[in-house]
Structure 1
Amino acid sequence: MVKVRRKRSVQHLPQQSFLHPILAPDSIAIIGASADPTKRGYKALVGLIKDGFEGRIYPINPKTDRILGIPTLPSVDALPEPVDLALICTPAATVPELVRQCGEKGVKGVVVLAAGFRESGEAGAQLEQALVEAARATGVRVIGPNTNGLFNLHKKVNLLGLTNVQPGGVGLISQSGNMLLALTLEAENYGQIGFSTYVGPGNQADVGFSDYLQYLGEEVNTEVAAFYVEGFNNGRQFIDTARAVTAVKPVVVYKSGTTAAGRQAAKSHTGSLAGSYAMTVDLLRQVGISVVHDSDEILPVAEGLSRMQKAAGKRVAILSDGGGQATIATDRLTEAGLELATLTEETQAALRAILLPHANTSNPVDVAGTSDTDPYVLAQCLEILERDPNVDQLFLVGMFGGYHLRFAEHLIGQEMRAAETIIELVARTAKPVVIHSLYTPVKPPPIRRLREEGIPVYASIEHAARTLAALGERGIYLKNRNKQTQVVTFEPDPEGLALFERANHEGRNLYEHEAKQLLQRHGVTVPEEILVRHPDELEGLSARFGQQPLAMKVVSRDILHKSDAGGVRLNLHSDASLRAAYDDILASCRNYQPGADIHGVLVSPMAPRGVEVIVGVVRDPAFGPVLMFGLGGIYVEVLEDVAFRAIPISRYDAEAMIDQIKGRKILAGVRGEAAVDRKALADLLVTVSGLVHAYPQISELDLNPVIAYPKGYAVVDARIICNPGV
C-alpha cells in the first residue's frame, strides 16, 4: 500500500516573540514542588518526568531534600542559573515576593497558578497590582495569575498533569480550564488531532492574548491557532496582531458571552471586558479570523484549516449517496454563506457515463444506489468534480467507509481502493476535499486510512459545513487582503479643530449643525439648514426654501434625544406654521427638561422618502473606534441588523459592510423600488471612518437616519459626542 502524505505549506512569522524560551523552555523551576500526589507541585513534576522532558528541572521546597528522586532547592535564590520558566504553585499572598525573587534571579517567565487576584474583588486587585509591579521592576514576564498552566507537547513540557494528549499542529489558548479538558478528551476520542502548545491565560495581568497569538504565528509546530475567549482586555492589539498572523496561518476563535447574562458571567469569571458579541465577531472576521459559534466546532474547524488551509472560493460540489443528507448538506452550506457550484455540461456528462440512469448529476450529485454495489464510484465522481472549473471545494456526504458493514463484506476492497484514490486526489489538488460519513464513530478501515494521511472525516454534516465555510472565508480573505490594507485616512483641518476647541471650552458636545459642518468640510453631503436663535429670524424662511415642506429641530446641549423631548416638528409650509412650531418646541423641551439650555432651532427642507440607514461610531473600551452600518430609523436597536468594522477602514471594508446586512435586499430595491446608490453609501462610510481617525476628540458619532436614494443620500440627523479632555 503506497502512502501519499499530503504536503502542507504552513508558513510562520519570523521569530520575534519573547515567549519562545518561556513556552519552549530548556530549564524549569517548580516553586512549591511537593511529594503530595494531590498537589500541583507534584503533578507538574511527574508530568515532566513521565513525558521525558530533556531540559533541567529544579524543584524548590525548603522542607525536603528530594522529590521523586530529584534534588530540591531551598529557595529561588539557590537556583544555579537563570531558568527559562518557573511554575509557582504557592498561595496568592506569597506570589508578588516570589515574582520579585524570580526576576532578580534572571528567570525569563513565571506561571502563576493561584486564584484570589483581580477576579476576586478589590483586595485581590491590589495583590495583582503588587504582582505586576514586581514583574515590571525586575523584567520577568508573568503568565496568569489564576491559570491552570500550560503545555508544549513537542518540547515534552506538560505542567498540567494531563495524560493521553498527543502532539500535533493545533495551538490552543483557553480562558476556561474545563474547555481545555473537553477539547483534549474530544481529541483523544477522535484519535487524529494533536496539540502543539496550550496556555491558560488566566487574568492576563502581564502576558495577553495578542502575545500568545504572536507566538503561535511564529511557532514552527503550530499549523493553526485556536482561542476560547470570554473577553478581550485589549482587543485592538489582538486584531492588529491577527492581521499579520492570518496572512501566514489560520486562526480560529470561539467567543463566549453571546447573551447579556453570558457576558456578565464572563466578567465575573475573568474580570475581562466582554463587549458586544456581534461587534466582536465582525472585528475578528475583518482581520481574517475564523469565528465558530458552537464550542464543539472549535476542533473540527481547526483541524480542517490546519490540513487544508484555504479554498479559492465558496462554490461547493456536493456528492451524496442519499437524497436526505444531500438536502441537509445543502441547507447547512447555504446557511453558512456558501454556494452550490453550477456544474459544467462536460462534468455532468462524465458523471452520467459512470452512474445509474436515475442518478442526479446536477449539484448536489446523488449517485442513487450506484455505490451500493460499487463504492469505488464515489472516488471516481470526486475526481470528475475536482476537474470542474466552477468548483472550489468538494463535499462527500453519506456512508463512505461503511458499505462493507451495511451491504457485503467483500466491498471492503473497493472502499479501501477508493480511500487510496481519494488520498492521491487530495495530495495533488489545491481544492479542499471534505468528507462526512455516518460510520465515522465506528472507525472502519477506509476511514482510518484517510485519517492516517491527515484527511479529516466528520461525523457531523454541520461540522463539515462549518469547516467548508471557514476554508472559503479564509481563501477570499487572503485573495482580498491587499485591498483591505488600503485604508483611507486624512488630516484634521483648522476649522474642524476649532469646532472641538469651542465645544470643549464650553463643556458641551458639538451641536447638530456643527457636526454637519464638520462632516461637510470632509466631503459628506449634508442638506441646507439654518440655525434660528430668535423667532424674528423665521420671517421669510418658507419662501427662501421655495415652499418645500420644512422640518424644525431643537438645538440644545442638554437634550440629545430630540423626539423624546418633543423637539421636532415636521411638514411646516408657512412662516406662521414655523412660528407656531418654534413656540411649541421650546415649550415642550422646557417641560421635558426644565432649565435645559436651548441654543436655538434648525430649519431645513424635509428629506424626500428613501431607505433609512444608520452610520455610527463608538470607541469601544477593548477595541477602540468601531464603525457601524445598518438599517436606520427607530428600529435599529430592535432589528439589530448591523455590521461593524474597526477604524480606519478600506473601501473594500465599506462595500463588505453593505453586503453583510440582511437588509441588503432592501438596498438593492424591492417591489419596484429602485436600488440605492451603493457607491455613495460606501463613500460615506469611508469618509466617516477617516473623520473619526483624524479627530480623537470624537467619542461617539451617530448619523441616524441617513436617507439613501438611487442617487446620493441625505444626512437627516447628526450627533457627535466629544471625548472629554482631548
Structure 2
Amino acid sequence: MNPIEGHLPTRSPLHDILAPTGIAVVGASADPTKRGYKAMVGLIKDGYRGDIYPVNPKADMILGVKAWPSVTAIPGNPQLALICTPAATVPGLIAECGRRGIKGAVILASGFAEVGGGGAALEREMMAKAEAHGVRIIGPNTSGVFNLHHHINLLALDNVRPGDVGIISQSGNMLLSLALEAQHNGHVGFSTYVGPGNQSDIGFNDYLRYLGEDEHTRVATLYVEGFRDGRKFLEVARDVTAMKPVVVYKSGSTEQGQKAASSHTGALAGSYAMTVDLLRQSGVSVVQYSDEILPVAEGLGLLQKSRGKRVAVISDGGGQATIASDRLAEAGLELAELSEATRAKLREVLFPQASTVNPVDVAGSTDANPSLLATCMEIVADDDNVDSVFLVGMFGGYSIRFAESLLGDEMRGAEAMVDLSNATEKPLVIYSLYTPIKPPALRRLHEAGLPVYASIEQSVRVLAALGERGQYLAQASGQSRETPVEARPELTTLFRQARAEGRDLFEYEAKQLLRDHGVEVPEERVVRNEAELAAAASALGETPLAMKVVSKDILHKSDAGGVKLNVVGEAAMQDAREAILDACRAYDANAEIEGVLVTPMAKKGVEVIVGVIRDPIFGPVLMFGLGGIFVEILEDVAFRAIPLSRHDARSMVEQIKAKRILEGVRGESAVDKEALVDLLLKVSSIVAAYPDLKELDLNPVIVNADGYAVVDARVIVDRDTAATDEDARA
C-alpha cells in the first residue's frame, strides 16, 4: 500500500520529535513496575535503531544500556526526551533538556492543570521553561507515544503491527482497545500514536498536520474529548483531508458556548451536533460509535473514496439483503438502479428464480459454485449507475457449510474479486457471516487489501464514509468561500453606541445592518409619538401591520405583551400602540421604552431561523434550521463555520430533517431555496466585517416561493472586545 502523495504548506516540526535519531529516557529504571522500565523494554524489543540514553543518577547500566546521571551529562545528541519522573521535577528537567539541545519532551506525569490549583501553576512554570529553552511538549498527563515504522514503542505495547493508520487519542484505554481490536482483526496496523494529554503546548491541529505529512500514514484517526483550538483544527483538517482521510470520534459535547448563551443560536451552539457539522464541513469522517473507529479507518485507508452514494447489493440470502437495504437507507445511501443491460447479464448466469433488481438475491445460484458471486460483482461494477458494490452473505464459508470440495471455487472467486478490485475504482466491500473464523478465501481478500467485515452495520458505515468523502472531494476543489463585506463607518458607530449604552442593537438597527449589506428586509418605521404614528400610517396605508415594542430592557417581546399583529388603519395603530406601552410598563415598570416598531406583515410561508454565534472553541459559526418558537425544542438545525462556500450554504438547507417542508407539502409551493442560500452567504459575509457582533438571530425568517422576509432580527453586542478597551481609553 503506497503512502498518499502530497504536502502541506510548511513541514511540521514534529517530524524530528516523533521520529528522533536519539531518545533520552529520564527516570529509566530496572524495576518492571515503572514506566521508565517499560519504555526501555519497548525500545529494545522493537529494535529501535537510534541511540538510547537512560537517565538515572543511581544506576550505571539499565537493561544492558549505559545510564547517565543527568540529562546534561548525555554525550550524544538526542532529539526526544521521555520524562517518567514526578510532576514536581518536570520544570527543572525541561530546562535541562533545553540546555542539552533536546527538541521535544514527552511528559507522562499527571498532577498539572487537570487537577487545578497548584497543578495549573506547575504547568505554567513548565511551559515558561519550555518556551525559554525551545522545547516542545507532548502532554503532560499523556499515555505516551509510538512510531512503529521507526521502531519506537514508548508504551511497550505487545503485538502492535506496523501499518498505515495513525492515531491521536486523549484516552490511553481507547488506544489499548483499538490495538487489541487490530490484533484480533490481524490485518490493521498502525504508524504513529500520540496521547496529547493536557495539550499544554502541542494540540490536535499540530498532530493532524504531522499525520497529514507522514509518508507512513494513509489515514489519520483521532479520539477527541475536547479541542483546545477548534478553529485551527478545522483549517488543518481542510488541508489534510484533501490528501488523505481523517476519521474522528468525538466524545461528549462542548459546553463553553452554552454557558454564555443569550439567544436561540447561543443556546444550541456548543453542542455535539455543532461539532460534528463543523468537522464534516472540513472533510472529516465522523463516526458515532466507538466500534466503528477502526473499521472505518481501515475501509477509508484501503479504498479512499467512492464517487457517490449509489450502492449495488449482492446477497445469497434475502433476509440479510433486506437488513443491508434498511441500513443503507438509514445511512443516507441509495440502492443503485441497475440498467436493463446489467440485469440481462445477471439473468444469464443466475437461476431463473434469482432477483436481479437491486438488492440482487442469487437465490441458491451460488450454492454449488460460489465463484459466481465474483462474476455478479463484476457485472454490477460495470454499470455506470453503480458507485460501490456490497457483497452480503456467507462467502468464504461455502466449503464449511456445504462441502469441502467448494474451497477451490471460493479461492477462485476470491482471486477474481482481487482482480476486479485492481481493475475498478469502485469500492468493493464484503460482509460475511464467516469473518470471525477467518476462512482461507476471506484471508486472501484481506491480504489483497479488500475490506471484509463481520457486521452489516460496520460495512454500511464504511460505505457511507467512502461516499461522503468522494462527494466532499468532488465539491471542495471548485468552491470558494464567501469574502467579507467592507464594514461601513456608520454601522460600526451603531455598535459603539450600543456598547456605550450597555445594550444590544435595537431590532431596527439590526435590520439596518442587514439591509445596508444587501439582505432583503421589509420597510419599517420606529414610532415614538403620535405624530410619527400618523406619518407611518400615511406611508404604509391600509396594509396589515405588525407592531413591536423597542426597548433594551424587554428581550422577549411577546411575553411582555409587546407585539400586536394584523393591525390595519391609523385608529387601530393608535390602540395597538397604547396597548403595547401599557402591557410593557406593567411587565417592567422600570423598562426604558424607545418606541414601537411598525412594519408590514410578511406573506405566508415557512418560518426558518438563521443565526450566528462566536463559539469560544470554533470561532464564528452560522446556524440554520426550522424557526419560530419551537427551534430549541426541535433542534432541527445545521451548523457551518464562517466563512461559507455556496456548497456549504446549500448543504445546510438540504441537511435539516424538515427540508421536505421547504419543498412544498399539502398543496403549498416550494420555497425559493436559492434566495435562502443567498441569505446565508450574505449573513456569513457580514460577520467578519463586524467583530463587535457576538450573536445574531434572525427568527423567524419567512421563506416562500418569492424569496424571504426577515421578520425579526436580534444582534447581541460583544462587550468584551478589544474595541471596548479602546473606547474606554478614548
Which category of TM-score, normalised to the shorter sequence, fits these structures? over 0.9
2:207 matched residue in structure 1: 212
Q: Identify which of 286, 295, 310 aligns with 1:291.
A: 286
* 1:406-445 C-alpha deviation (Å, 9 max, x unpaired): 1111011100000000011111110000000000001000
Please report how far the alpha carbon of residue 508 of structure 1 lies from its aligned counterpart in structure 2 after TM superposition.
2.1
Q: Identify which of 4, 7, 17 aligns with 1:13.
A: 7
Please report how far the alpha carbon of residue 676 of structure 1 lies from its aligned counterpart in structure 2 after TM superposition.
0.3
**Pairwise mapping of residues 502-581 of structure 1 onto structure 2 (< 5 A)?**
502-539=497-534, 541-581=536-576
Please report how far the alpha carbon of residue 93 of structure 1 lies from its aligned counterpart in structure 2 after TM superposition.
1.3
* 1:638-672 C-alpha deviation (Å, 9 max, x unpaired): 11111111000011111111111111100000111
Please report how far the alpha carbon of residue 589 of structure 1 lies from its aligned counterpart in structure 2 after TM superposition.
2.5
Please report how far the alpha carbon of residue 583 of structure 1 lies from its aligned counterpart in structure 2 after TM superposition.
2.6
Q: Identify which of 230, 236, 239 aligns with 1:235.
A: 230
2:637, 2:230 → 1: CA distance? 20
**Pairwise mapping of residues 566-645 of structure 1 onto structure 2 (< 5 A)?**
566-645=561-640
2:264 matched residue in structure 1: none
Task: Count the aligned residue pairs.
Answer: 710
1:225 and 2:220 aligned: yes
1:382 matched residue in structure 2: 377
Kept after mapping to 1: 8 A contact 2:3/2:217: no
1:101 and 2:116 aligned: no
2:183, 2:6 → 1: CA distance? 27
1:260, 1:322 → 2: CA distance? 47
Q: Which amino acid aligns with 2:52?
A: I
Please report how far the alpha carbon of residue 595 of structure 1 lies from its aligned counterpart in structure 2 after TM superposition.
1.9
Please report how far the alpha carbon of residue 60 of structure 1 lies from its aligned counterpart in structure 2 after TM superposition.
0.6
* 1:24-62 C-alpha deviation (Å, 9 max, x unpaired): 111000111111100100000011001110000111111
2:726 matched residue in structure 1: none
2:398 matched residue in structure 1: 403
State the SS of the aligned residue for 1:483.
coil
Consecutive unaligned residues of structure 2, counting only runs of 5 or more, are 260-268, 724-730
Give the TM-score, by structure 2 length. 0.95
Kept after mapping to 2: 8 A contact 1:488/1:686: no
1:9, 1:231 → 2: CA distance? 29
1:269 matched residue in structure 2: none
State the SS of the aligned residue for 2:349.
coil
Q: Identify which of 661, 680, 688 aligns with 1:685.
A: 680
Please report how far the alpha carbon of residue 534 of structure 1 lies from its aligned counterpart in structure 2 after TM superposition.
2.1
Q: Give the % identical residues.
A: 63
Q: Which amino acid aligns with 2:124?
A: Q
Consecutive unaligned residues of structure 1, counting only runs of 5 or more, are 1-6, 265-273
State the SS of the aligned residue for 1:601.
strand
Q: Which amino acid aligns with 2:453?
A: Y
* 1:132-179 C-alpha deviation (Å, 9 max, x unpaired): 111111110000011010100000000111100000000000011111
State the SS of the aligned residue for 2:477.
helix
1:337, 1:484 → 2: CA distance? 23
1:74 matched residue in structure 2: 69
**Pairwise mapping of residues 662-673 of structure 1 onto structure 2 (< 5 A)?**
662-673=657-668
Kept after mapping to 1: 8 A contact 2:410/2:441: yes
1:484, 1:662 → 2: CA distance? 25
2:417, 2:100 → 1: CA distance? 56
State the SS of the aligned residue for 1:160.
coil
1:331 and 2:326 aligned: yes
Please report how far the alpha carbon of residue 218 of structure 1 lies from its aligned counterpart in structure 2 after TM superposition.
0.2
2:19, 2:107 → 1: CA distance? 17
State the SS of the aligned residue for 2:337.
coil
Q: Identify which of 340, 355, 358 aligns with 1:360.
A: 355
State the SS of the aligned residue for 1:721.
strand
1:253 and 2:248 aligned: yes
Please report how far the alpha carbon of residue 449 of structure 1 lies from its aligned counterpart in structure 2 after TM superposition.
0.8
Q: Which amino acid aligns with 1:444?
A: P
2:215, 2:687 → 1: CA distance? 39
Q: Identify which of 407, 413, 418 aligns with 1:412.
A: 407
Kept after mapping to 2: 8 A contact 1:483/1:652: no
Please report how far the alpha carbon of residue 130 of structure 1 lies from its aligned counterpart in structure 2 after TM superposition.
1.2
1:589, 1:513 → 2: CA distance? 18
Give the TM-score, by structure 1 length. 0.96
1:190 matched residue in structure 2: 185
1:199 and 2:217 aligned: no
Q: 1:528 to 1:124 in 2, by over 3 A?
A: same
1:112, 1:591 → 2: CA distance? 62
Q: Which amino acid aligns with 1:563?
A: S
1:259, 1:173 → 2: CA distance? 19
Q: Which amino acid aligns with 2:364?
A: G
Q: Which amino acid aligns with 1:11?
A: E
2:513, 2:253 → 1: CA distance? 36
1:26, 1:559 → 2: CA distance? 66
Kept after mapping to 1: 8 A contact 2:545/2:598: yes
* 1:656-692 C-alpha deviation (Å, 9 max, x unpaired): 1111111110000011100001111001000000000
Per mean C-alpha deviation after superposition, the further-off stretch among 340-349 and 114-123 is: 114-123
2:341, 2:13 → 1: CA distance? 55
Q: Identify which of 689, 705, 710 aligns with 1:710.
A: 705
1:268 matched residue in structure 2: none
Please report how far the alpha carbon of residue 506 of structure 1 lies from its aligned counterpart in structure 2 after TM superposition.
2.5
1:535, 1:59 → 2: CA distance? 87
**Pairwise mapping of residues 116-131 of structure 1 onto structure 2 (< 5 A)?**
116-131=111-126
Q: Which amino acid aligns with 1:184?
A: A
2:727 matched residue in structure 1: none
State the SS of the aligned residue for 1:373.
coil
Kept after mapping to 2: 8 A contact 1:153/1:196: yes
Please report how far the alpha carbon of residue 492 of structure 1 lies from its aligned counterpart in structure 2 after TM superposition.
1.2
Q: Which amino acid aligns with 2:518?
A: G
1:154 and 2:144 aligned: no
Kept after mapping to 2: 8 A contact 1:231/1:275: no
1:24 and 2:50 aligned: no
1:394 matched residue in structure 2: 389
1:468 matched residue in structure 2: 463
1:91 and 2:90 aligned: no
State the SS of the aligned residue for 1:694.
coil
Q: Which amino acid aligns with 2:229?
A: N
What is the alpha-carbon root mean square deviation over aligned residues? 1.6
State the SS of the aligned residue for 2:313.
strand
1:26, 1:593 → 2: CA distance? 72
Q: Identify which of 483, 489, 493 aligns with 1:498.
A: 493
1:43 and 2:44 aligned: no
State the SS of the aligned residue for 2:515.
helix
State the SS of the aligned residue for 1:353.
helix
